[in-house]
């Protein structure tokens, strides 16, 4: 008696591998976009935490403290001395968040005449509308920072 697989057994294994592949492949297709979304939301949470830390220091120390990197809390051009939030988050469009984050380089950030910073969400990442999920960043959305309220939020378009 030979100890080999029969043709039926081999066909059954091939069909089983095909079914498993058909179920598993769609699960992995969206992982790249999901990873980019998660990374961007994590960075946004870090920005909000840094802003909140500056505000907390302002409350506790009443203006005598260091906030972020090179933000002077006594300079009204850099820090809202009435509400306690940083106004100047960065040095320019090429370093929009360098005063809050250690490595805040990005592209496309602008400070509007209303004092809000605005920058693209998923500039080189998740494309819309295929992944247009409310609360999740894609290429149609943008980030906004309000220096009066200290709110750093995603604006869905």
The pLDDT of residue 112: 78
Ordered mean pLDDT values, 10 residues apiece, the chain (157 residues): 82 93 80 78 84 86 73 80 80 65 65 78 61 69 83 83
- Look at the chain and count its residues: 157
Please give the model's pTM, rounded to 2 decimal places.
Answer: 0.69
Residue 47 and residue 9: Cα distance in Å, rounded?
57
Give the tokens for residue 110: 């602008």
b/e string for 125-136 if b means 16 or more Cβ within 10 A? bbebeebeeeeb
Domain ranges of the chain: 7-155
The beta-strand segments (E) located in 16-126 are 79-80, 85-86, 110-111, 117-120
- What pLDDT shows up at residue 19? 92
pLDDT at 12: 93
Give residue 59's pLDDT: 86
Taken in order 120, 125, 127, 130, is the CA torsion positive or negative? negative
Quote the distance between the C-alpha of residue 64 and its chain's center: 31
Question: What is the per-residue pLDDT for 11?
Answer: 94
> CB-side exposure of 83: number of CA atoms within 13 Å?
14
């Amino acid at each position: 008696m030979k100890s080999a697989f029969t043709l039926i057994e081999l066909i059954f294994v091939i069909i089983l591998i095909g079914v498993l592949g058909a179920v598993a492949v769609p699960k992995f297709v969206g992982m790249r976009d999901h990873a980019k979304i998660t990374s961007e939301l994590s960075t946004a949470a870090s920005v909000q935490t840094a802003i909140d830390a500056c505000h907390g220091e302002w409350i506790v120390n009443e203006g005598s403290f260091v906030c972020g990197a090179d933000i002077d809390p006594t300079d009204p051009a850099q820090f809202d001395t009435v509400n306690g939030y940083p106004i100047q988050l960065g040095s320019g469009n090429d370093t929009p968040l360098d005063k809050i984050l250690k490595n805040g380089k990005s592209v496309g950030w602008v400070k509007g005449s209303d004092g809000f910073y605005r920058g693209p969400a998923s500039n080189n990442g998740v494309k819309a509308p295929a992944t247009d999920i409310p609360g999740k960043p894609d290429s149609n959305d943008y980030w906004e920072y309000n220096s009066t309220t200290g709110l750093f939020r995603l604006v869905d378009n």
